[in-house]
Amino acid sequence: MDITKVRELTDDQLLLELTNARRHLYDLRFQLATRQLTDFTQIAQTRKTIARLLTVQTERGVVAPASTPSRRTRRTAVAGGKR
Domains of the chain, first to last: 3-78 (1.10.287.310)
16-57 confidence digits (pLDDT tens): 999 999 999 999 999 999 999 999 999 999 999 999 999 999
Q: What is the reported pLDDT for 78?
A: 56
**pTM exceeds 0.85, yes or no:** no
Confidence of residue 1 (pLDDT cuts 50, 70, 90): confident
∠ CA 39-41-44 to the nearest 5 degrees?
A: 140
CB under 8 Å to 9, separation ≥6 — which residues? 17, 56
Cα 26 from Cα 30, distance rounded (Å): 6
